Every structure is written in C-alpha cells, then in structure tokens.
Amino acid sequence: MPINIEGLKFTYSNGGPFEKNALHDINIDIQNGEFIGIIGHTGSGKSTLIQHLNGILKPTAGRVIINGIDTKQKDLKELRRQVGIVFQYPEHQLFEDTVKKDISFGLLKQGLSEEEIQQRVISALHSVGLDESILEKSPFELSGGQKRRVAIAGVVAMMPKILVLDEPTAGLDPSGRDEIFGYIKELHRDFNMTVILVSHSMEDIAKLAGRVIVMNEGTVYMDKPSGEVYTQPDQLEKIGLSAPQITYLMKRLKTILPDIDENIFTVEAA
Ligand code: ADP
C-alpha cells in the first residue's frame, strides 16, 4: 500500500503539563493516484495528520508507512522527495531574492545538473500557469495570487509522488481559487500524482476529490467515496452543517454527478 497509516495516535507535549491528544487511532490506506479530500472543523486534527506524512511529526503510537518508508526512521531525505507538502499561506516561506532561486531551492540538494534544474523550474512554473518572464523577479514584486503559485511551484518542482495541500486557496478571490484548483486537477491527471487536499469547503472537495475523509475530534469520522458522503445528510448534520448548507450541497451534487439517484434529494435535511 503506497500510504499506510495504522493505529496512529499523536499527543502534543506528551507527558508534559500541556499534553494534548490530537489524533486517536487513525487507520487510513491510500492508493497511488487517488485524490483525497480531508475536511473537518478547526481543531479536528487535519494539520496534525498531514504533518505525519513527511515525518515532521512522528507517531506517539502506531505507524505511518509511505511507499515502504517508515516515517519514524532518521534519514528522511527520500521521504521528503516523495511527499511534497504545501502548507497554509506558503508564500510566507518565500525568502530568496528571485523567483528562480526560490523554486530551485529544494532541487539544489538533489545533485541535479544545471540544465535539469532549469527544466524542472520552468515546467513547475508552467504547471501553475506562470512563465519564464518572472524568473528573475523578486517574489515580493508579485501579486498575492502569483506568490502563492510560485510557492506551490517550489513543491511541484520536486516532482513528488504525493502532493499534500493544506487550504491552498485560503485568502484568494474566487477566480484565484478556481485557477489554483484547476492546476491541482491537472497535476493529478497528467502526472498521476496522489493528491491529498485539506479544505474546510465541502463544495471544493466535492468538485475535486474522489474520496473524502471527514475528521472529527482527532478521529476519522467518515472515509468514503465523495458521492456517498453527500448522500448522508444526517451524518453531515452531526458534524455541524446547517440544514440550508446540506440542501445546497445536495443540489450541487446533482450538477456534479448528474446520474445520481434523484431520491436522495427527498431526504429531509432539517
Ligand atoms: P486542524 O488542522 O483540523 O484545525 P490541528 O491538527 O491543528 O487541527 O489541531 C488538532 C488539535 O491539536 C487541536 O485541539 C489543537 O488545539 C491541538 N494542537 C495543534 N497544534 C498544537 C501544538 N503545537 N501544541 C499543542 N496542541 C496543538
């Protein structure tokens, strides 16, 4: 199994006065090429979970195995090559004086030739809808949306097999959001990348992901193909969605999955 999370438990400040159990007995298997959406309230454990995928956090109990690599091992170089994580507001991590240097930063450690680095940088730029003309610019001269895309390009340039994105469109306007989601969809399709997208927006997840994991209070509350999650309004209500939100989602589902059985819309969402 490419991603195998078994009995994962994580406690912040384990044994200390501010001990906090953030994840309890998480079991998730993910296949190559899946597009997974992770949703859940603030504090439900989404960020803690994704930080286990490249070994930033290590399980307090249980294990996380990525393509045969146990994240508990010390040498995480190969793991970090395979799993790229785009954190929230990734543009805050841009620090070089040119876009080119920022995008190639991770590549420099990989022993690639100058030409290869150049090629990877350009192809990563293209994959987020930018071009060579901005290579020598300072990231700080760019618009908010462009900065975000440069930051994503820096992760994409590493050509990770698994791309994890934590609220990649937070703070962008609707057209900026649609653009970024469009590029993520293409990366998934063209490179068969496994994509794990954390979002608080059910609608975005419904549009993109084939499978949805709903987190609640540090546990996996639901893990199903997206269509099935949206056919269980009573379950959605339990995680705090209002009746109008559920009705809206049901309507949207009809446009996304036109073949779906009409009967599900007769379920009373109140
Ligand atoms: P989400 O990403 O779903 O908002 P988090 O994974 O950030 O949730 O948080 C899960 C739980 O762990 C929350 O109760 C949060 O307060 C707690 N938590 C997160 N980071 C820390 C930390 N560095 N120290 C202690 N507790 C934390």
Identify the sign of the CA torsion 135, 99, 102, 34: negative
How far apart are the C-alpha atoms of 154 and 91, rounded to whole Å? 10
Q: Is 47 in the pocket of ligand 1 (CB under 6 A)?
A: yes
How far apart are the C-alpha atoms of 148 and 12, rounded to whole Å? 29
Q: Is 84 in the pocket of ligand 1 (CB under 6 A)?
A: no
Distances (CA, A) of 135 to 56, 124, 127: 30, 12, 14
Share of the chain above pLDDT 70, in %: 85
Residue bearing the CA closest to ligand 1, atom 21: 12
Q: Phi/psi class of residue 76: alpha, beta or left (left: φ > 0; alpha: ψ in -120 to 50)?
A: alpha
Average pLDDT, the chain: 89
Task: Please report the pLDDT score of residue 22 as a whole number.
Answer: 98
Task: Please report the pLDDT score of residue 207 as a whole number.
Answer: 82
266 vs 46, more confident? 46
Q: Work out the pLDDT band at 270, boundaries 50, 70, 90.
A: very low
Q: Is 12 in the pocket of ligand 1 (CB under 6 A)?
A: yes
Q: Say yes or no to pLDDT of 14 above 50.
A: yes
Task: Please report the pLDDT score of residue 268 as a whole number.
Answer: 45
Do 184 and 197 form a contact (C-beta atoms < 8 A)?
A: yes
How far apart are the C-alpha atoms of 157 and 155, rounded to whole Å? 5
Spatial neighbors of 268 by CB under 8 A, at least 6 apart, are none
Which ligand 1 atom lies nearest to the CA of residue 215?
A: 3
Task: Please report the pLDDT score of residue 18 as a whole number.
Answer: 93
Ligand 1 centroid to Cα of residue 44, in Å, is 8
Do 66 and 11 form a contact (C-beta atoms < 8 A)?
A: no
Residue bearing the CA closest to ligand 1, atom 16: 43
- Return the closest-CA partner of residue 195 out of 150, 238, 152, 161: 161
Domain segments of the chain as ranges: 3-229, 230-270
Q: Say yes or no to pLDDT of 27 above 80.
A: yes
Q: Work out the pLDDT band at 1, boundaries 50, 70, 90.
A: confident
How far apart are the C-alpha atoms of 58 and 54, rounded to whole Å? 9
Ligand 1 centroid to Cα of residue 18, in Å, is 12
Q: Say yes or no to pLDDT of 67 above 50.
A: yes
241 vs 170, more confident? 170
CATH superfamily of 3-229: P-loop containing nucleotide triphosphate hydrolases (3.40.50.300)
- Whether the ipTM is more than 0.90: the answer is yes
